[in-house]
Structure 1
Amino acid sequence: MADEQEIMCKLESIKEIRNKTLQMEKIKARLKAEFEALESEERHLKEYKQEMDLLLQEKMAHVEELRLIHADINVMENTIKQSENDLNKLLESTRRLHEEYKPLKEHVDALRMTLGLQRLPDLCEEEEKLSLEHVCRVTNKSIGTPPYVPSAKQRADLGIPKSPRGNRMNEIQKIDKLCDLSQYFSSRMANLPRLY
């Protein structure tokens, strides 16, 4: 009787061992699957982080590129401003030289006329680029400003006649008239000796 009980106990133990072993195998299989999923997710996470690092590097490169572009723009704006200031100073200096040249030429022409000599050619006749109109035209093209318009005093000094409405003729028309007069006197006085 005792042997039968012992055998039954052993059979129960074997049955329990079998059930527990099957349960362990199932858990082991689940653990293996979980570990594989964990390793796969770790690889994906590593790839994601690497991609994020590359994106951040690209972002910083673009930020630096934009910073350099803005710096270049600021430098160019300052350079353009300085160049415009220099150009305006040179233009003003050119106008002053023209103002100094005009009375001297008028005086010399008057003296030459008393001697029966023809007048000296105007600057626009000698070389087109020396004329004030040419300088103003080139300068306005460069800086994009409206054409130079002489003041009322300057127009009066040039002797530009008033129109019926009280406005004076355009400076260009005055220059054209002076050039026509120059050509007329040149043709009339071509045979006279020149002292220059």
Structure 2
Amino acid sequence: MAAEHEGEIMLSRLDSLKDIRSKMLQLEKLKNQLLNDFVDTEKEEEMLKEYKKEMDLLLQEKMAHVEELRLIHADINLMETTIKQAESDRNRSLEKARRLHDDYMPLKQHVDSLRASLGLEKLPELYHEEDKLTPDYFDKQRPNYQAEDTASEPVLPSTLTTVAAVSVATQQMPVTARVNRPSVDRQPTGFRQQPPPMKACLSCHQQIHRNAPICPLCKAKSRSRNPKKPKRKLDD
């Protein structure tokens, strides 16, 4: 009876050992999966930081283009105002010159007839002094300046259009000074975006942004040619 009891105890211990061994294998498997997922999480966290940094750079580049577009629109509006003012001045001078010409020609004809009665030559014609001042000069049509058809302009994204329109509406200053002879020296705008720094993808060899963590074309992870060196720990 004692031998049978001891045998049952041994069998029970063997079963317990088998159960423990099975549980330990399961625990080791779970631990390895946990460590692998932890490592993947840390890697993705670093990549996520790179993605956000790249997004910030893209947003900065976008805003630079929006600012440049706003300045261009402001220049266009200023130039259109200047052209319209110059046209008004030109038309005013043209109308005044036409009236003077209408007074000049009959008087000249009368003077020429009086000179002819005395055997004198006629006075020189106006176009002898000014080549363009021909008899049909005032009959030529002078169409006013027409702004470029906006339908031919490229369609901008709604965000850029909204930002540019608001910026122009709030920052444009009206031109009130009379321009007799407009001479506009277009200065280069204060913000001209330079092309973004590029590098070649090591997988597909296409040009991509220098700070891009992954290639947008082949989706390969990009490696820096000048990786940061790990900091050396100070010896205790």
Q: Which one of the candidate residues 49, 68, 72 is aligned to 1:69?
A: 72
Between the aligned partners of 1:143 and 1:38, the Cα distance in structure 2 is 63
**Paired residue for 2:197?**
none
More off after superposition, 122-131 vs 60-69: 122-131
**Paired residue for 1:47?**
50
**Paired residue for 1:188?**
none
> What is the DSSP-based 3-state SS (H/G/I as helix, E as strand, rest coil) of the residue aligned with 1:131?
coil
Q: Which one of the candidate residues 85, 92, 108 is aligned to 2:111?
A: 108
Give the superposition deviation at 1:42: 1.5
> What is the DSSP-based 3-state SS (H/G/I as helix, E as strand, rest coil) of the residue aligned with 1:129?
coil
Between the aligned partners of 2:82 and 2:135, the Cα distance in structure 1 is 26
Kindly tell me: are residues 125 and 143 of structure 1, through their superposed partners in 2, closer, same or farther at Cα, counting changes over 3 Å? farther
Give the superposition deviation at 1:12: 6.0
Between the aligned partners of 2:139 and 2:50, the Cα distance in structure 1 is 65
Gaps of 5+ in 2: 147-236
Q: Identity rate of aligned residues, in percent?
A: 58
**Paired residue for 1:35?**
38
**Alignment RMSD (CA, Å):** 3.4
Between the aligned partners of 1:59 and 1:13, the Cα distance in structure 2 is 67
Query: Which structure would you say has the larger Rg?
Result: 1
Give the superposition deviation at 1:24: 2.2
Kindly tell me: are residues 79 and 136 of structure 1, through their superposed partners in 2, closer, same or farther at Cα, counting changes over 3 Å? farther
Aligned residues: 143
- Where do residues 4-153 of structure 1 align in structure 2 (5 Å cutoff)? 4=6, 8=10, 14-134=17-137, 140=142
Give the superposition deviation at 1:35: 0.6
After the TM superposition, list the runs of 4 or more consecutive aligned residues in structure 1 that deviate by more than 3 angstroms: 7-20, 134-137, 139-144
> What is the DSSP-based 3-state SS (H/G/I as helix, E as strand, rest coil) of the residue aligned with 2:132?
helix
Kindly tell me: are residues 143 and 38 of structure 1, through their superposed partners in 2, closer, same or farther at Cα, counting changes over 3 Å? closer
- Normalised by the size of structure 2, how large is the TM-score? 0.48
Kindly tell me: are residues 18 and 143 of structure 1, through their superposed partners in 2, closer, same or farther at Cα, counting changes over 3 Å? closer
Aligned 8 A contact 1:123 1:131 in 2: yes
Give the superposition deviation at 1:60: 1.9
Which amino acid counterpart does residue 117 of structure 2 have in structure 1? T
More off after superposition, 45-54 vs 7-16: 7-16
Give the superposition deviation at 1:43: 2.5
Kindly tell me: are residues 71 and 142 of structure 1, through their superposed partners in 2, closer, same or farther at Cα, counting changes over 3 Å? same
> What is the DSSP-based 3-state SS (H/G/I as helix, E as strand, rest coil) of the residue aligned with 1:67?
helix
Aligned 8 A contact 1:84 1:143 in 2: yes
Between the aligned partners of 2:145 and 2:16, the Cα distance in structure 1 is 104
Aligned 8 A contact 2:83 2:145 in 1: no
Q: Greater share of helix residues, 1 or 2?
A: 1
